[in-house]
Structure 1
Amino acid sequence: MVACPDCRAYRPCPLDAWYDHLAVAARGKATAGSRRTFLRIIGEDIGRGVFTTWAREGRMRLAEATAWRVYEEYRDAGQDTSAQNLARYVHVADGRQPRLVAAYATILARTGGEETLERAIKVCDEALGRWAQNTADGWPELRAKRGQLAGRLTRLRGRLSSELDEDGNPIPVRRHHPADPRRVRGRRFGPPG
């Protein structure tokens, strides 16, 4: 199989990104009422709406891409709580749009505890398991979010010194290495001396 020019240039392949463009048309004119009917995040019909109808009819990729557009609308309107609730309910409805998964993982990891970071990493891993070489823009962002969460977890588990590196991050204490070793190892490269 021959890769398309976009795949060879490491750009999103049209076969992977078509649903992002279709989501703009499927969204139509964005209004506050249309946001509420897409996926209800408050009220008695919570978790139901156009998203769940499309998912049930087998249009999950379109539903996920449109959910990302609605998430952006909430966020741009300054309704961060509504955007976070949307990300949560899309995840509960088995939606795995990579940017929404990254947003949901950020919500999970907000407290910064070891268990919550592990859960957020697990959410990222589950979504990345569905990746299957997809070249859409959201997947590298999700891998970066997973790496960020794993780094936070590593720093949380490791002992940190009071010293900071050039970026202002605490330097982990090296295990079993005293500050003034009794025996100094010879130079590995260069002239002996």
Structure 2
Amino acid sequence: MLGLALLCGAVTAAAWSGGDWSDATLLVGLSVTLGVLALGIIVSGIRGKQSGAVGGFAFLAAVALVFLGLFPTGTAFFPVGVPVWKVSTDADSSPPGYAVLAGRATFDLTALNSVGPAERTIDVWMGVGVTELILPSDRSVQVETNALIGGIDYVGDAAAAERGGLFFHDSHTFTDDDTRTVTRIRVWTALGQVTVIAPAPLESS
């Protein structure tokens, strides 16, 4: 059954790709493999046998499928801890997103001050923990927060008070210069807090 599942997944992926490998091809191949493994588990149950290794491989295939479906290729992943990331000015060489299972993640976005007028979206996935964003001082940044249970705390911006709750959503734009070229930070949290260190407003001379 394992051999049949791998064969079906590989043949389907090869036929789907047409010679051009992509994330979609891998997802299709894994989906077919998982479907065949699921069929094998059902047949084993009907025959009164345990799934054995087929169940283990099916679980791994399901985890891989969920991971690839949620996170784009190149996502920086940190399981548990206190990672500190400096977001690069080069969008092409930077990860499309960052994922942390549990911990306190800090994102230094101050380097974006030197970036020219170009739109950019950065996704941050946090399972359980705190996400800290250090924003640039002279670039429009939109912070969007989505959490099952959580909240957001703005530091240095009097116009935005701390808030939170169940199925929480919040969006706030900093250093808005009435242009459409903004950097968008989207934070997805299962359970946790987002702390935004906003730039201090410039005093008029």
Q: State the TM-score, normalizing by the size of structure 2.
A: 0.31
Relative to its length, the structure with more strand (as a share) is 2
Higher helix share: 1
